[in-house]
Structure 1
Amino acid sequence: MNFKEISIGEKMTDSLSKRESKGYLVRVDANRKLTIDLRGPAGQDFDLYIKHNEEASTLNWDYKRVTTKADEIITIEPTSAGSYYILVYAYRGSGQFSLSTEVPIQDVEIVPSQQIKGTLTASKEALYYLIKTKEGQKITLDLNGPLDADFDLYVRYGERPTNINYDFKSYSGSSKEKIIIDKAKRGSYFIMVYSYRGSGEFTLSALPLEEAETVELIITSKEKLRTKYGQAELGQIEAKIADYINALGTAGIIAKLAYVDDAASLSPYGLSPVASDSPEKIKELIDSLEGKLNPRHILILGGPSIIPFFSLTNPAGFDGDRIVHSDSPYASRDSDYLIPERSLGRLPDAKESELPFFLSLLSAAASRVRRADKVSFGMTANVWTDASQAVYVSIKNAGEILELSPPVRHGDLPVARLNRKGYFYFNLHGGEDTANWYGQEGSSYPVAFTPENIQDAELRNAVVCCEACYGANIVDKGVDEALSLKFLARDAACFVGSTKIAYGPIEAPSTEADLLVLKFFERIKEGQTFGDAFMKAKQDFARECLAARSRLDMTEKKTLIEFVLFADPSSKMEEA
């Protein structure tokens, strides 16, 4: 049988008598999507048979479409390079039919170390590809085409390039082109191979993507540290910071220290000092430094007396908090600070008389070892038992119980009950002017946990999450005046808590503070760094809330901005 060649995109008409067959063929490149569409007369029965690189018949086919109608469609994806032989067969009836073929212009994905072959059949023709990248990766694309042609290479982020609109281009008068993107954005880069002149086969390859250097940006205020502690003490702090930077370097992380009010530390980036008491100006500086350094993590050194919290309007209205102390805007790349985009944490200091506390935090961060036992301690107000169990299950092991207050009070907890726990979870009441946390049953609010409970406890490298109102309130607080600081003083690696009044449900499912803490524990258990786990927990929280009702309510917005992370964001828990 004679198989007539037809072109991609061509629609041709022909006719068949009863039991007659007619053949056609179409040539296609590899990795395409080929659609073959047969349209026959009503009331008749025409069938479709396809064979790759060999004549098709009703007995010899790779693809077939046989129904009781005369309209048949076959889609082949991905195609193999070569010829597809098409047989149209009149099983019943006769009449005129149309046959069309289509290969949509598609973007074929390239993966690292892959070499793709393609063919440009004429001048001014183009083929399209894409490569997916992570933030900061290095991309190297190599094009090799025929010696007697001139093929060009164009790349554009997020959408297809043209020879007019592109982000990167390489055209040399030959068909050998290369494009290197040193710091890619996260997403997809679209690639066009374009024939300026000539035709022929080419290869396009992507070298293995190189991971960007991991950079941690350290933000603090030299003048405020000097004023608070003194010049000699500033020297001690800077020595500890230097140890920490060296430790990061040993771990493969490049640390960049920026004093917000020190020209010498900012001039290498072409930036000037800003007011150290203005969180808005400090955020603008962080935004500018991010553009220069592309940091993977951002660490704020010092409490609010050194680098201030933002004082945000309370989205929950009149619940007793006029403002909300927050680090959320620092973790955002724009003015919409509800959902973070940066891995950011804070290592706070305490009162001016408690410099050893701050130095000890820096020393612990420099150790880089965050290994703790895979055991937990959990405590909740009795009234929230059901809701708390739904969170505690993410960290507890068989046999571990959630302590209920009441009946349990702070004096009922021997230090052995707290020693060497890797995870701590608290869902208790707190107050703005007290260091204690409280239980509840009915109208009874017994003292459940105090700084004295952990005065002698072995808490090294523990991860602590607390849902208590004001659990992370450290404004004008000393170590013994805030349990968050006390946990850090006892060598806990991480503390997550709320700076203001927090919200949560009485029973499952988890919402508000319960949901955020649950998501944080889940991310920590995945092996995420503290900063990444906190950022992704807030993203997970927002995603679930929006999926439930397409918006964030007032208390959900407050939850997102009032919870803060006191930890080195580049460090992570390693379960012993």
Structure 2
Amino acid sequence: MLDDPRSSQTAISRGTLIQILGSALSHQKNVFGRQAALKWLGAYPGDLGIKLYLAKFFAAEKNWQKAIELVNDLLKSDPEFLEAYQFLGHLPVSASEKLLSQASQFALGGKGVQKNMLPVWSPALHAVQKAIIQNKVDDASQMVFRILSLKQDNALINVYHLKTVYLNQDTNTVQKLADLYHSTWPEAIQFKMVLAEELLEMGDEERAVNLLHECVAQDASGQVARRWWGDQHVFLPLWPDKLEIVLDLQVPNEVAFDLGWNRLPEGDPNTNYAINFDEFEENSSRNKRKSFIQSDTGKQVSKEFARLANKLKKDANTKIDGRFPVYVILTTKTGLIKQYGEQTYQIIFQVLRHIQLLVQSKPGWDSVLFIPDDPQSQTKFNTAALNIIDPWKIKSSLLELDNSLLKRGEKIGALLIVGNDEVVPFHRLPNPTDDVDNEVLSDNPYSNLDSNYFVPDWPVGRIMGENGADAGILIQQLRSMVKYHSQPKSIRMVWARIFSSFSALMRPANLSGIGYSASVWKLSSYATFRPIAETKKVFISPALKNQFLKQSDLMNNDLVYFNLHGLQDHGEWYGQRDYLDPSGIDYPLAVAPEDLVANGRAPKIVFTEACYGGHMFNKYENNSIGLKYLSLGVPVFIGSTCTSYGSISSPLIAADLLANLFWKNVREGNTSGEAFMRAKISLVQQMTTRQGYLDGEDQKTLIQFIFYGDPFFAYEPNNLVNRRLPILAKPSKVKTICDVDHGNGNGLVIDEEIISQVKLKLKPYLPGIEQATVKLNKMQVGVDSTYKGVPSASENIRLIKDRYVVTLQNLVQLGRKKYTHTARVTIDSKGKMIKMVVSK
């Protein structure tokens, strides 16, 4: 009798899970079976056999589209998967697809197919298979060439062609042929495995190891490797030696009975109720294949792969909750109609439906159009429609949606917000720093399930239009998304990265990018943008003698980074003179909306650290650089809604650190939304490690930057190598502290000597510091519960000893406007400067 996992947290093996799934199918316990399969695939997303079971549960629930998509995806990964062909033949597919599945079944030795109804290549390929098993390789080779003269565009035929060449041990030919077929069938595991083995023999270990990483990720149980190389191949240490999970689901009584977890009913106690669970334990267990491993080099490096295997298994065992992700498109009907009118709402609705269907058609993801104030939309999810457009109520609706998705084995995986502040309001969050901003407008609370809005659970993007009733810029962005998601090759690369689970380094290469920085911050800007471009690609304001930034440069580079000053009510961004620069204007104009001119090209991603760089509320494209970029076709724009802060020296902090982490993740091949989410999580991890907490600048940085665009957009230049990355663990608890204004009448006395030292340190970065106002605040734990609109605010405010923040503010002239330049310095009771930031 198998151990009953229901009574404890006992882990179950893959074999036990297959017993459970087989029993669930036979008893039509489809919801349980689907959830159990999804739970397993959450830990081992590349288990081909369990994916086939999942397809069977989808079919049992009449979800034919998902079942067919999943089986076709399996056959792309493993063109020799006999059981998948057999199941496909029972699904409602076209006559040509059914014939192809029957032909492939017969070629692989499947039973029950009429030979005279099949295309000529099918029985011929079956003869090739038999010849290989009988070690008649020359005969097999001749037959394959005859088959290729009849049909070439078939992955299964190509697999057997490669196999015959492989068995002749012609290394050079094998490598070329494997490379050719890998480029033709990039998802097929067989071509990756053979190419990796040959590359090892030729000395290209880096590429070989990367290919083998992909094979392990795609085929968690190693069924393809065992079929090709035998049960004890030398690369076996790369695969996990034990596959198991804790199945914390309620097991139906019928299934528990089949597995001996319930008492037997009345009757013969000797009756055997066990079922056969070997359905997918591969043909090698029923029909032992000859080991195909040939390479001496492969044997020599087996110890090295054992070392790599330990790392791979550690990465692969990263747990997620096992639910399929859903791309949620969020908007409000009331808000869209109020801003644009009923007719325009219907146009927007149809485009959103198109995007939903495009995303829904991709393997591995579902998509829903969620309109929380539309009763018709809410009926589908059994949630109540909102009668008031409020950000916290919309967040509550998202939680209800996630609970509804849970019942069908799904979860929110990414969120696209469509509309301005009037349509889907930004959250008004308390400002954790004592500066000129009364509040922080943020989308962060929409990114998670709990009250910890600093750390996201999923990527969030927003499609924003300009002020007024003209929806042109908004609709243009949505139609660009339709075009992007209609490109199959690009999207395949997106899904591959979203399911990524292994880490690797990027090949050193400069990408198509430029930076534009205030001179006073050039050193931190060089460090921030280093993952993308070398120092000479970061332009300075005021300009260096040997630099000249052309207007077209702002449009002709794929990745654009700004580290300039910005204003809330004006569209221009300004540089700042370094104190070592020649005399001149302290804050010269650097870029304005009119400098961005359409020329048939547009950047792919723009990230600005400028204060108010993402503040697009009540603005138009002619007075907002962000809106101007979006109107010219930029897919992703990231900027701050209020005063942002950055470093004046190493290490990078605040906005500089966030931008640097974002560019690193873009370079590593993430989708832009995932790169932004990972950057935030990494910032929390790094600053918590450095300080033990997140201070006001850290917190403000995490909540003030808005991602405008599609979170699934991926930058895919030819020289960027897409990698599989580990899932970042979200910190379970985040310790936050901030500073509060106690004034000087509250016992806080400013030591003039300390203030003099602070001013001396800041003088190169804060012109006119002698006239700056100075404020001293104590640090505190907790948020003032009187702050309006924040349900999670705490009354338990506790002051921290030995930590103070000195805030200096100086009113300076930017063009014809006044700007409050702010610096913040954290000190201890002895006056030691711990941290220093300046506003952008």
**TM-score, normalised by the number of residues in structure 2:** 0.46
Gaps of 5+ in 2: 1-7, 20-38, 54-243, 282-319, 406-410, 491-509, 580-584, 719-840
Counterpart selection for 2:326 from 215, 222, 228: 215
Aligned to 2:480: 364
Among 373, 384, 392, which residue is 1:272 paired with?
Answer: 384
TM superposition shift of 1:287: 1.0
| Aligned match of 1:328 | 444
Q: Call closer, same or farther: CA 1:205–1:527 in 2, change over 3 Å.
A: farther
Whether the 8 Å CA contact 2:11–2:245 is kept in 1: the answer is no
The structure 2 residue matched to 1:487, chosen from 629, 634, 637, is: 629
In structure 2, C-alpha distance between the alignment counterparts of 1:242 and 1:173, rounded to whole Å: 40
Match of 1:430 in 2: 566
Matches within 5 A, 1:260-409: 260-293=372-405, 294-317=411-434, 319-368=435-484, 374-396=511-533, 400-407=536-543
- Describe how 1:433-448 pairs up with structure 2 within 5 A: 433-441=569-577, 442=579, 444-448=586-590
> How do 1:91-110 and structure 2 match up within 5 A?
110=13
2:557 alignment partner in structure 1: 421
Deviation sequence 1:281-300 (CA, Å, 0-9, x none): 00000111122231221110
**8 Å Cα contact 1:140-1:207 kept in structure 2:** no
1:392/1:287 CA distance change after superposition, 3 Å: same
- Structure 1 residues 206 and 354, CA, compared in 2 at 3 Å: closer, same or farther? farther
**Maintained 8 Å contact 2:567/2:611:** yes
Amino acid at match of 1:168: Q
SS of corresponding position for 2:458:
coil
CA RMSD of aligned residues (A): 3.9
The answer to whether the 8 Å contact 1:141/1:204 transfers is no
Q: Answer whether contact 1:110 1:206 (CA < 8 A) is retained.
A: no
**CA 423–271 in structure 1, closer or farther in 2 if over 3 Å, else same:** same
Deviation (angstroms), 1:326: 0.3
Cα deviation code 1:521-566 (max 9, x no counterpart): 1112222222222111110110001111211011101111101111
Task: For residues 296-327 of structure 1, give each alpha carbon's deviation from its aligned partner in whole angstroms, at most 9, with x where no partner exists.
Answer: 2111001212111000110012x100100000
Alignment partner of 1:247 is 2:354: no
Matched, 1:460 2:602: yes
Whether the 8 Å contact between 1:394 and 1:522 is mirrored in structure 2 is yes
Q: How far does residue 240 in structure 1 lie from its aligned partner after superposition?
A: 2.2
Q: Which moved more, 1:286-295 or 1:301-310?
A: 286-295
| Partner SS for 1:556 | helix
Aligned to 2:336: 225
* C-alpha distance in structure 2 between counterparts of 1:455 and 1:140, whole Å: 50
Q: What letter corresponds to residue 360 of structure 1 in structure 2?
A: Q
Contact 2:15 2:277 in 1 (8 A): no
Query: Using a 3 Å threshold, how does the CA distance of structure 1 residues 114 and 213 change in structure 2: closer, same or farther?
Result: closer
Q: Match for 2:370 among 247, 258, 267?
A: 258
The answer to whether the 8 A contact 1:300-1:346 is kept is yes
Query: Are the aligned partners of 2:256 and 2:262 in contact in 1 as well (CA < 8 Å)?
Result: no
What is the alpha-carbon distance in structure 2 between the residues aligned to residue 250 and residue 405 of structure 1? 47
Residue 374 (structure 1) shift: 3.7
Tell which deviates more after alignment, 334-343 or 252-261: 252-261
Give the count of matched residue pairs: 422
Alpha-carbon displacement from aligned partner over 1:343-365 (angstroms, at most 9, x marks no partner): 21111121224321111011111
Deviation at 1:218, TM superposition (A): 0.9
Deviation (angstroms), 1:480: 1.9
Q: Which amino acid counterpart does residue 42 of structure 2 have in structure 1?
A: K
Query: Equivalent residue of 1:296, what SS?
Result: strand
Once the two structures are aligned, what percentage of the paired residues are identical? 27
Contact 1:408–1:448 (Cα < 8 Å) also in 2: no
Q: What secondary structure sits across from 2:445 in the alignment?
A: helix
CA distance in 1, matches of 2:536, 2:456: 33
Look up the SS of the partner of 1:299 in the other structure.
Answer: strand
- Give the unaligned 5+ runs of structure 1: 1-104, 117-130, 143-157, 179-192
The one-character-per-residue Cα deviations of 1:375-407 (angstroms, maximum 9, x if unpaired) are 00101110001111111111115x852101112
Distance, in Å, in 2 between the alignment partners of 1:305 and 1:431 is: 22
- TM (normalized to structure 1)? 0.65
- Alpha-carbon distance change, 539 to 391 in structure 1, aligned in 2, over 3 angstroms: same
Aligned residue identity for 1:403: F
Per the alignment, residue 15 of structure 1 pairs with none
Q: Which amino acid aligns with 2:342?
A: Q
Query: Deviation of residue 168 (structure 1)?
Result: 2.7
CA distance in 2 between counterparts of 1:435 and 1:207 reads 62
Which one of the candidate residues 159, 168, 172 is aligned to 2:250?
Answer: 168
Alpha-carbon contact 2:416-2:461 (below 8 Å) kept: yes
- After superposition, what is the alpha-carbon deviation per residue over 1:75-127, rounded to whole angstroms, capped at 9, x for unaligned? xxxxxxxxxxxxxxxxxxxxxxxxxxxxxx997784699999xxxxxxxxxxx
Considering fraction of residues, name the structure with more strand.
1
Whether the 8 Å CA contact 2:440–2:703 is kept in 1: the answer is yes
Which structure has the greater CA radius of gyration? 1
| Displacement after TM superposition at 1:206 (Å) | 11
Given the alignment of the two structures, is residue 527 of structure 1 paired with residue 669 of structure 2, yes or no?
Answer: yes
Q: Which structure has the highest helix share of the two?
A: 2
Q: Does 1:134 pair with 2:42? A: yes
Change (3 A) 1:407 1:289: same
Distance in 2, matches of 1:412 and 1:525, equals: 26
User: Is the 2:329–2:352 contact (alpha carbons within 8 Å) kept by the matching residues of 1?
Assistant: no
CA change 1:170–1:222 in 2 (3 A) is closer
Distance in 2 (alpha carbons) for counterparts of 1:512 and 1:534: 14
